[in-house]
Amino acid sequence: MKEIMAIVRMKKTGATKKALVAAGVAGFTAIRVLGRGKLITDPRELEACREKLLAMGLDDFSDAGDTEKLVTSFLDGSRFFPRRLFTILAHDDDVPRIIEAITRANQTEYRIGDGTIFVLPVQDAVRVRTRESGEAAIW
């Protein structure tokens, strides 16, 4: 029995849910969290990301200096971004399939900030309705 914790983009909640159903996993718990990841140190990737973000922010209303400041705070790793944390209980054999499904649904062209998946061991689970425990309580 394993617990899969997947932290994904808010926008990808729907896609993740669909992918989970397609992978044969119906049950999950999802909460809103704030998160930040490890620092990206490769200057080439940072520069590419920065240019893309700056281009997005430039319009008639916003000030170039403000936009620059905001984009810098996005990339220096100190800011927390809203994310969705999915918690899924799964049988051992299903874990690779679920990870594959979540990864495929969540990858974007940005290459930064798509989230992480953690797999934790679980000792026991109990279904409240029937008092079934262990593997039978998962689904």
Partner 1 sequence: MLLIRAIVRPEKKDDVLAELSGAGFNAATMVDVVGRGKQKGIKIGGMVYDEIPKILILMVIPDGDKEKVTEIILKTARTGTDGTFGDGKIFVSPVEEAYTISRNSKGL
Binding region for partner 1 (CB under 8 A): 2, 7-8, 31-39, 77-78, 80, 83, 85, 95, 99, 102-103, 106-108, 110-121
Sign of the Cα pseudo-torsion (97, 121, 10, 116, in order): negative
* Residue 61 or 118 having the CB closest to partner 1: 118
**Shortest Å, Cβ 108 to partner 1:** 8
**Shortest Å, Cβ 137 to partner 1:** 20
**Shortest Å, Cβ 80 to partner 1:** 7
Q: How far apart are CA 67 and CA 97, in angstroms?
A: 41
The residues that bridge with 87 in the sheet, in sequence order, are: 5, 29
Q: How far apart are CA 26 and CA 17, in angstroms?
A: 8
